[in-house]
Structure 1
Amino acid sequence: MSRAYIEFRNVFFRYSEDQPWVLKDVSFRIFSDQWVAIIGHNGSGKSTIAKLINGLLTPEKGEIIVDGLPVNEDTIWEIRRKVGMVFQNPDNQFVGTTVRDDVAFGLENRGVERREMIRRIDESLKAVAMADYRLQEPHRLSGGQKQRVAIAGVLAISPQVIILDEATAMLDPKGRKEIMDTVNELRTQERISLVTITHDLNEITQADQVIVMNQGEVYLEATPREVFLEETLLQTIGLDVPFVAKLANELNKDGNIISKQPLNQEELLEELWTYHSIK
C-alpha cells in the first residue's frame, strides 16, 4: 500500500431533508492496490458509499477525495475516468447490440482512437475469458457471462479503481466464486484498487480490509480474520460468519485448538492437523 487513493472525511448523506441520515459521520481510507470489502445488512449505507465514490450522489456534509481530487461537479468526469462501477444487474449496463459493441461504448464516449479501441476491447474480453463471445448478443448470455462482459467494459476504460456493487448477488455460488477469482486476478495483474459491496461474508476472505456498516455508520474496520472472530458482534447487526469461521470459533470454546482464524476449508484442516500433531 502506498497512499490513500479514496478518502471519506466525516461524510453525511440523506436522500431528502425529511428523511433520516443514510450515512452519518463516515470516515475511512482506501489505499492504492488495496482490496476493501464493504459489508452490512440491507439499508446499512454500503451501496450509497459506492455511488458517492463515483459521483452518482453528492454528500450533504463532509468531503470525498479520489486520487487527490475532491469529488464535485467540476471533477466528476475526471473521477469517473479513474473509478469504474459494476452493478448488481448487468442488464442495466448493456447498451450495445453485441458484446463487442457494448465494451466499445465507454471508449467511444471518451474519444479513444479506433486502433487503440480495438486493442482494449480484445484485451479486456480476453482478460475475463469472453473473447469467443464478442459477436454474441448480451441478452443471450448467462448471468455469470453478463457480469464478465460488464467487468470487461469497465476494464477497457483503464480505471484505477473498480467498484463491484453487489455484482455477484444474482449468481449461484459457483458463478460468484468464478467472478471473484477473475476480479482478484485482474486486480493483481493490473495493480488496481478494488472495492466490493456485499452482504455475503464468504466473498470477503481475499480482501485486505473490511469495513462493516450498520445503520449508516462504520461499525467495525478490520482484516477478514479479525472480522470472523467477532461472530457474536456481527450477529447483533444481522450478519453471520461463514461456516468455516463458525466451526473454528466453536472449537476454540473448548480450548485453544485453532491458533489462527481460518479463512477457508484448507486453512481449517491445516490448523486441525497441526493441533493433533502437537497433541
Structure 2
Amino acid sequence: MREKFIEFRNVSFRYGDNEPWVLKNVSFDIYKDEWVAIIGHNGSGKSTIAKLMNGLLYPQEGEIIINGLPVNDKHVWEIRKFVGMVFQNPDNQFVGTTVQDDVAFGMENRGVPREEMILRIEEVLKAVRMEEYRLTEPHRLSGGQKQRAAIAGVLAIKPEVLILDEATAMLDPRGRKEIMQTVAEIQQQSEISLITITHDLQEVVKAERVIVMNNGKVWDEAKPREIFAKKDELRKIGLDVPFVAVLADELIQNGIMIKNEPLDHDEILEELWTLHSKM
C-alpha cells in the first residue's frame, strides 16, 4: 500500500478577511513516488495550492500534512527541505553567475560537502541534459534551457517532491514538450513525487492521476483517460480539450469507432491502424 506524502484536510484559504475564498474545503492526498497533475482555469486555486504545499502560505481553515508534519511556523523550514518548487519564470530563481553556480547555491545553503556538491552537479545537469551549459550565464539560455537549469537546481537539494507551478507557461510548444519529457524521465528514474500544476491538458497525459480544480474546489479526481472523456464538462469550466480528444470525437461521429479514449497521437494512430488491419 502506498504511503501518503501530502494530505490536504478540508483546507480553505483567502488572501484577506474581506476577500472571497480562493480555496474552500479542499481535501486530497498525494502519495510517495506518484505523479499528480493539478489542472484548472486561471483563478481556480491551483497555484495557491502550490504555495500552501511549500509553506509560502498557511490555510485559514483545515490542515495540511507534509511527510507527517503539519504545515505551520514550527515545521515550515523542515518541510521546505522535502519540497522543491519550479515557478513559471525561471529568471526569478537564478542567483548564480553560471548554471553550475546556480545549481550549487541551494546545496551551499544546506551545508553539503564540496565533494558531494560536485557529484550532485554532474548528476542533475546530466538528468536535465544541460551538461554542456554548466559554465554558461543563465540569461544567455533559451526559455526551455532556463527551466531545465532551474529544475536541476531544485533536484540538487534532493527534495522528496518536485512541484512545477505553470513551469511551461512561458515556453513555445517545442520547449513545453522538452520540459515535460525531462520531468517524465526524472520521475521514472528517481524516487520522487511529482506535481505538475497547469491549465494545459496536453501536459497531464503521463500523470498517474489528475485533480481538476474549479472555483476553489476539487471538481474531479481521476486518471487522465477518465478526465479526457468528459470533454463537454471540461469546456464548461473553461478548460481546452486536447486536440487528440477532439479528433477522436470527430472520427466517432463519422463512423470510425475509436474504442479507447486516446491520450496522445501515438495511441490514436494505433487505434486507426488496428481498425485498418481488420478491414
Unpaired runs of 5+ in structure 2? none
CA distance in 2, matches of 1:274, 1:66: 45
Compute the TM-score of the two structures, normalised by the length of structure 2. Answer: 0.97
CA distance in 1, matches of 2:252, 2:225: 15
Aligned position for 1:45: 45
CA distance in 2, matches of 1:185, 1:228: 23
Match status 1:155 vs 2:155: yes
Match status 1:123 vs 2:101: no
CA contact (8 A) 1:88 1:165 kept: yes
Deviations 1:74-118 (A, max 9, x none): 111111111100000000000111111111111111111111111
Aligned position for 2:93: 93
Deviations 1:50-90 (A, max 9, x none): 00001110000011111111111111111111110000000
Match status 1:74 vs 2:74: yes
Aligned position for 1:227: 227
Aligned pair count reads 279
Which amino acid in 2 is paired with 1:164? L
Which amino acid in 2 is paired with 1:170? M
**Percent of aligned pairs sharing the same letter:** 69
CA-CA distance at 1:130 after TM superposition: 1.1
Deviations 1:165-208 (A, max 9, x none): 00011111111111111111011111211000101111110010
Question: SS where residue 9 of structure 1 aligns?
Answer: strand
CA contact (8 A) 1:12 1:21 kept: yes
CA contact (8 A) 1:257 1:272 kept: no
Deviations 1:25-73 (A, max 9, x none): 0001111111100111100000000000011100000111111111111
Unpaired runs of 5+ in structure 1? none
CA-CA distance at 1:275 after TM superposition: 2.8
Which amino acid in 2 is paired with 1:78? E
Aligned position for 1:22: 22
Within 5 A, what are the aligned runs for 1:185-264?
185-253=185-253, 257-264=257-264
Question: SS where residue 252 of structure 1 aligns?
Answer: helix
CA distance in 1, matches of 2:278, 2:10: 49
CA distance in 2, matches of 1:120, 1:192: 16
CA distance in 2, matches of 1:265, 1:256: 16
Within 5 A, what are the aligned runs for 1:102-113?
102-113=102-113
Deviations 1:204-258 (A, max 9, x none): 1001000111110001111110111000000101112111111112333456811
CA distance in 2, matches of 1:132, 1:254: 50
Higher mean C-alpha deviation, range 113-122 or range 19-28:
113-122
CA contact (8 A) 1:100 1:134 kept: yes
Which amino acid in 1 is paired with 2:203? E
CA-CA distance at 1:129 after TM superposition: 1.2
CA distance in 1, matches of 2:250, 2:21: 37
Compute the TM-score of the two structures, normalised by the length of structure 1. Answer: 0.97
Which amino acid in 2 is paired with 1:189? Q
